[in-house]
Every structure is written in C-alpha cells, then in structure tokens.
Structure 1
Amino acid sequence: MTMMVSRRGFFGGMALGGAGMLLPRAAFAWKADGAALYPATDDFIKGFVDRRELAGTLAAIGRGQAALDVFGAGTQAMDSAKPVDGDTIWRLYSMTKPVTGMAAMLLIEEGRMALDQPIADFLPAFANMTVQNTPDGSITDVRPAKGPITVRQLLTHSAGLGYNIIQKGPIRDAYNAAGILGGQVSRLPIPGFPQSSSAPSLAVFADRLAKLPLVYEPGTRWSYSVGLDLMGRVIEVVSGQPFDTFLKARFFDPLGMTSTGFQVAAADVGRLSTNYAPFGGALLPIDPATSSIYLDKPPIPYGGGGLVSTARDYDRFLAMLLGEGAIDGVRILKPETARLAMSNLLSDTVDRKGSFVEGEGFGAGGRVSLASSPTGEGVYGWGGAAGTIAFVDRKRGYRVGGYTQYMPSEALPFQRDFGKAFYKDIFSQALHTDGAP
C-alpha cells in the first residue's frame, strides 16, 4: 500500500501509546576528519543519537570541488549494528524536487520548451483549468482560470496546484481518491490516514489532475504542490523518454550516481536505512529496510518525492550545481542555465505570506536565499519529508547535506536546525581567520 504522510499532524488519530523500542545510548558513534572541521555540526547531529532520538545521523560537507567530508553517529536502524556512512541509502522525498527542476532546465537549455511556455502545449488537458472560488472549499464552486499554467510556475510552486499533504477538505479528498499523491511511505497501514493508491502512471496522474480545480489562480501565490510531479510528465512528453529513464541517462549515469533511483535493488537492501516515526520517547519503524516499500518498483516515478540516494551520490549532484553545471570535466548544464536555475524565478507579485518560503525566493525546484536572508544571497536547496536536507552556498563555495530518517520532519529539529549548526561552524572559522563570512 502506498501512502503519503502529512508533514503536519502526522500523529492525528494515532493511538499507539508508548509502544516501540528505545534506542541504545550513543550507539556506534563514529567520526571522520570532517567532525574536527565542523564541531558544531558534529555535536548537533551526534546529539540526536546520544539522546536516543534517532537511529543514525550523517553530515556530508564539501568545499568547492574538493573531496567530501562525511561524519556521523549511530546506525542504519535501531536493531542494526551497521554504522551510517556515505554509502547508506536514504529516502530523499522532496530533495527529489531540485533534481527534477534541473532536468526541466536542461530541456529549456536545449530549446525544447521555454520557461514561460504554457504546459498545455505539451499536455492539452490543462488548457482550460478552473479555480476554486474558496481555496480548500467546494470543488464544484469554481471559476475559469484567468491565465495558463506555465513551466516556470510548475518549477516554483506557483501554478495554483494543490498537495494532499497540504490541502484540506474536498480537494484533498479528491486528490486522494484520484491517486494524486506525492510519494510513498510504507506497506503498513498508518492509523488516521486514508489508504490511497497511486495513479498507475504519470500519464494517468496528469490526466486525473487536469480534471480537478486549481486551489489558486496560476502565478498568484506560492503554495507547496504536486507541480514537480506533474513536471515529470511534462519531461516525458518533451523528451520522448520515460521520466526515470531521462534522469538516469542525463544526470545519474554521467554524474556517477550509481545508488540513486526510484527503487532499491535487492542487492542493496543492506545499505538501506529504516524510516521511523518518533512517538512518546520511542521510535516506531514505519518502513523497515528489510521490508521497505522502496524494494518494489513504484507505480510512478515521483518527480516531487520519489528518489532514494546516498550522501556521496547526492553530493555529486550538489557539486555539479556548485560547479555551475559541471563536475570532473563532465558538463550537465551550461553555466548560464545552472545560474538561472538557482536564481529566484518568482516574481514579486507572487504572494509568499505564511508559506515555507516567506521572505525567500524560489528557483527550479528549490528555495533560493535573497540579499535580505540571514545567509545573504547564493544558497539554493531543499529538504525532504523524512528529515533530510541539502543545499549549495554559491557565495561561500560549500555543498552541504544532512541525513537521517524520521517522519514528519517537524517532529524533531534535525532538519530545521541543521543549517544553523553548519553556519555556526563556518562563521566561527571566518572569525578565527579574520575574514568576512
């Protein structure tokens, strides 16, 4: 069974009491050179294992195109003796979105579609969309959309589309009934959540989505959505290849990302982490590695939340971004394309109040920092529903990843505060060298 779990209210309807196993204290903590370079980050990630809050945590940090520093604590599962490392496989969930965004930008670079082109040119079913008169209200009280959905809007969550992990009421129920999900979580039923089955293909996913009203007028509001999943279908039509085949041929193979994909091979199950739900001081395994839903081929390759990868693999993607489209002599994107993709693609007229990106910009599938941001300009990246986070800081020349597995990501402050710990380290380093951070 495929299910998508809300980042908010995950435990609504759960009545599990204190069941589950507690972690052993500081299980199998280990360090590498990076731990000495980034002590605040090391203390931060190790603390979750020391406090028995997570099974394993990992940081992967590189500067420029230099070798990656990987350091962490704990194990792949609380019943495992195998330490997490750079080759542990993690569920990326929404860290898939930047990959899909860059795939779309590659097709734009090749002139096969344009940033402000209506997607109805490729998917005619989206030519005459309707919009809810009341967001999250009735799905029959609608009006014609004032403008078309564009490629830019899909990339930046400004197309007016919904998300079953965000919306409420009839539109959420309609998404669930149509199998318009954002990913998969477990074979196990999770109390309090609908038992929805995914649409059987990206083509069907898109056709069903086109029949439902938009939540907002296209181009008016930033609203987290299935836009990057729909982009997967656009990429299929424009490229003439299945979406997963396109990613493998144009990104994963050239970058040497041999452990990245939408499914975990049986031979690699020994490297797969277990996903947990923290509850009442215990960690409840919601997707054990040995019986993970990721061992099966998914019904569709979710461009918004379907990939699994390792810290080393995803760092290859980040290094390509930091190299403005190239790494180790392999060019994926032109420099101008990479820079555009990691720039703010949202116009000032797009309402961001109360959203995940209030006060920030958004590029091709990832958040973009602005001059007014705490870090200043130059940061691009995104996090995943199971606690992972990754970004590049182009101004300072860093590529950064934080990895663990728990849902929802708000249940613990790992994802929220990982970046703060990292910047504490580099600002401290800058002060000690009398340089500006």
Structure 2
Amino acid sequence: MEDRSFLLSRRSLLRSAGWFGAGLAGSAFLPSRLLADPAVEAVYPTVTNLVYDYVASGRLPGAVVALGWGSGAPMQIARGTMAFDSLVPVDLDSLYRIYSMTKPITGMAAMLLVDEGKIGLDQPISDFLPRFAKMQVQMTPDGSITSLKPAQSAITLRHLLTHTAGLGYSIIQKGPLKQAYEAAGLVPGQASRLSIPPFSGVKTVPSLAEFADKLADMPLVYEPGTRWSYSVGLDLVGRIIEVVSGQSFDAFLAARIFGPCGMASTGFQVAAAQAPRLTTNYVIHDGKTDPIDPGASSVYLDPPAFPFGGAGLVSSPRDYDRFLMMLAGGGSIGGTRVMSEAAVRLGTSNLLPASADLAGTWVAGAGFGAGGRVGLGADAGTFGWSGAAGTVGFVNTRVGLRAGLFVQFMPSSALPFPEEFPKSVLTDISAMKKAA
C-alpha cells in the first residue's frame, strides 16, 4: 500500500530507459557479518557495491538482492541484519513486505482464468459483479462527487489489470473522493499498528465482497479506457477471481500459484512461528530512521481485513524469485506447469487499451501488462513492478533475466536505492557482454 510520497522514487524508476540506466555505485567492497559469495560479487560488482554502501553507511540495516538466469538457482548478494537492533543477518529466506509487488501475482492469477476461458480480457466485469453495470464518472477528476455523468464504457478486466478502469485510490486521489474512499473503508492495505497517515483512523471493510460492493457506489475518476491512473483495480480483481473460481482469493493463490511454484513463505499473514524471519520496516523522516513495523510485533502477524490483491503480500527473496522464474520459464518451474506459455506471453505483454492516455504518468513511453510495467522496443520482454517499502522485482522473459531488490523503508522516495538498483544490474550485465 503506497501513499503518493511513497511512489516518487517509482516515478523516476519508470521514466528511466527500460527500468535501466547508466550509472555506477561509487563505494568499495565493505565488510559484513554475512558470509558473502565472492564469485557472485565478482560478476556483479556494481550491484554488490551498491548494496554494501547502503548498509555500511548506516542508511539501512540490511538489503538482499536475488539475481538469476532462466531456471538457474538464484544468486544472492546480501548485507546487514534484520533490523538496526538485530544481529541476525538477512538472506534469501528473510521475509519482506512486498506491497505493490503483489500486483503482478494477482495479475497472473487472473490470466489463469482468462486462459481457461472463464473470463475474457474485454468482458465487462458487471457480468460477474452486477453493481458495476451503471457507473458514474466525475465531471472533474478529483473534483465534486455529486457532479457526475454516466460512464460511456463498461469496465473490463483489461482495464482493471492496467489501471485504466477509472477507479480511484485513497493514496492517489485528493479532495472529496479521497475522503469518501476512506469513510467507506476502501483502503486496501496496512503498514503499522502505529497511528501513521494515511492509515490513521481508517477502518478497512472486512471482506472483499463488501469492498467490491462499496467501491461500485463510488464515482469513477476517469471514463474507463481513457487514462492510466494508479488505482485499486488489482484489489477488485481479487474479488472477481473469487466469484469466477468459487474459491476465496487467498485460497486460489495458494492452490494455483504459491503451491505449484514452491512459494511456501508467501502469504497475507505471517505465522507467529515465522516472526523471527520478518524484517523490520522503517520510516525515514526529518533525517531520522524509525521503526514503523517491527518484525516481532508486526501488524502482519494478525490476519488482514481481507487479502489485498494490490498490496498485501509478505514474501521472501527466494519465493519471489521463484515467481519470476516461473514467468521466465514460460509458465513452468521445476517440471511443474503453473501457467500455459500463452498465458504468460499475454500477461507480460502490453495490454493497455489503445485509447488510454499515458501523458505525464509513471508509464509514459512504456506498456503495462497484468499488474506490471512492460518494456517496449529495446526493453521488450521486461515485466515487473516495485513496492512501497523500496522493493523491486522484474523479469525479462526474452533472455531469462530475473532480478529482485529487498529492503524495508518508507517512503520509497526517501532513498534512491530502488532507482539505482536496475541501473546497477544493467551496468554489470553490459560489462559481462563486453568481456565475453
């Protein structure tokens, strides 16, 4: 779950050339409590220096990078500990709040049902959620919520997956619509037990069904299909998956994605026995870094109001890499077929409606697939997204590259790490090509 300030670093990230750009981290190799893999670090010196610099400088307690090719095991670059007051080193099995990196998982879950013919990409969602049949649109985006006009187009699954449905987001909208979302409990996310905006005083509705029903009563910000605008669309996809599949959304993910992919450490709640693996999340403000959600007393130890398909998952670097590995494998991992190759190709392709205006948005010059950004041109094959606490995850299905950054700080704009990470990966890969 992100507020606008959390997303500023993503704005720069998404405007960079194909997630990547030039630039080197200037730090040297630095000592760590964690045993490093010299072979991996020698191949990825820029990534390694970047990770070490953020930890050794005291800006972050720890960071983990998972890198892989094709179906090969992930390579780890890790430094530091679970928290500033911890002596336990982070690694591929530490747990992280991945926030909006949940969206590509939800998107691929929907693609399973599209592939099975149970819902069409361009099918009106009102076929499954009738309350969305007659939507109203604000005359002025983020203006009055009583000065409205009937929507001219039906919301489709394509719109939800690509943030072009015209739906709002309490962390994006302003004025009366933001207030209406919060008053209705349409805030699908959590960050802390502490009283911290934008979560303070907001009680989220208790079920996906109620979320969908109340969302249908809200006016749209834009006419469906006309504008890319970050929204709760992927959370609503979770409800559609429930209706279409006949399973709860979390049960569907467990049965169709987490289980087959071997992602045993991914879910919407952290079991008490696994709390020692959960890293601490920090808020950076006024030059200070304070714990916002300590691992030992995390809000994620309690069940969420409902499974948030847009921003609710906790995962490990190893688990998320397995999700990316499945996509890199055309839907197959370790001999298990999770998705058809056609479903992966479609979900990681540009699904944006031709009528959608991208000007001034985070995805201008790029495409958008099933819950994640899609590279175009020289960046073709790249698919992924980032999270509110600084995490980044992407795959290039054309060459099989997998990359993930796992840190825990909010807002993600407080440090340029999420922007620098993909650039550092490109720098090292470019060096490899020159040396070959």
Same-fold status (TM-score > 0.5): yes
Do 2:269 and 2:302's aligned partners in 1 also have CA atoms closer than 8 Å? yes
What secondary structure sits across from 1:8 in the alignment? helix
Q: Give, in whole Å, the separation in 2 of the partners of 1:378 and 1:396.
A: 8
Which residue of structure 2 aligns with residue 75 of structure 1? 81
Give the Å deviation of 1:105: 0.3
Sequence identity (%): 55
Change (3 A) 1:51 1:367: same
Q: Give, in whole Å, the separation in 2 of the partners of 1:196 and 1:407.
A: 19
With 88-97 and 342-351 compared, the bigger mean Cα shift is at: 342-351
Give the Å deviation of 1:305: 0.4
Corresponding position: 1:48 with 2:51: no
Could you tell me the TM-score, scaled by structure 2's length?
0.92
What secondary structure sits across from 2:409 in the alignment? coil
What secondary structure sits across from 1:195 in the alignment? coil
Which residue of structure 2 aligns with residue 21 of structure 1? none
Which residue of structure 2 aligns with residue 336 of structure 1? 342
Give the Å deviation of 1:349: 2.2
Change (3 A) 1:380 1:204: same
Q: Give, in whole Å, the separation in 2 of the partners of 1:193 and 1:90.
A: 19
Do 2:332 and 2:338's aligned partners in 1 also have CA atoms closer than 8 Å? yes
Q: Which of 354, 363, 366 lines up with 1:348 in the alignment?
A: 354
Do 1:29 and 1:46's aligned partners in 2 also have CA atoms closer than 8 Å? no
Corresponding position: 1:31 with 2:36: yes
Corresponding position: 1:62 with 2:59: no
Could you tell me the TM-score, scaled by structure 1's length?
0.92
Which residue of structure 1 aligns with residue 111 of structure 2? 105
Corresponding position: 1:424 with 2:421: no
Give the Å deviation of 1:281: 3.2
5 Å-filtered alignment, 1:398-409, equals: 398-409=401-412
Q: Which of 142, 145, 154 lines up with 1:136 in the alignment?
A: 142
More helix by share: 2
Q: Output one character per residue of 1:207-242: Cα deviation in whole Å (capped at 9) or x when no partner.
A: 000001000000000100000000000000000000
Corresponding position: 1:162 with 2:168: yes
Q: Give, in whole Å, the separation in 2 of the partners of 1:63 and 1:302.
A: 30
Do 1:59 and 1:72's aligned partners in 2 also have CA atoms closer than 8 Å? yes
AA aligned opposite 1:214: L
AA aligned opposite 1:358: A
5 Å-filtered alignment, 1:87-236, equals: 87-190=93-196, 194-236=200-242
What is the alpha-carbon root mean square deviation over aligned residues? 1.6
Corresponding position: 1:289 with 2:292: no
Give the Å deviation of 1:394: 2.0
Count of residue correspondences: 414
Gaps spanning 5+ residues in structure 2: where? Answer: 9-29
AA aligned opposite 2:33: F
Q: Output one character per residue of 1:317-367: Cα deviation in whole Å (capped at 9) or x when no partner.
A: 100000011011101111111101000001332111111111100000000
Q: Give, in whole Å, the separation in 1 of the partners of 2:42 and 2:302.
A: 39
Q: Output one character per residue of 1:354-413: Cα deviation in whole Å (capped at 9) or x when no partner.
A: 111111000000000000xxx521100000011000000123321110000001111111
Q: Give, in whole Å, the separation in 1 of the partners of 2:51 and 2:6.
A: 25
AA aligned opposite 1:127: A
What secondary structure sits across from 2:379 in the alignment? coil
- Tell me: higher relative CO, structure 1 or 2? Use CA pairs within 8 A at least 6 residues apart: 2
What secondary structure sits across from 2:63 in the alignment? strand
Give the Å deviation of 1:30: 4.3
Do 1:183 and 1:305's aligned partners in 2 also have CA atoms closer than 8 Å? yes
5 Å-filtered alignment, 1:315-334, equals: 315-334=321-340
Do 1:361 and 1:367's aligned partners in 2 also have CA atoms closer than 8 Å? yes
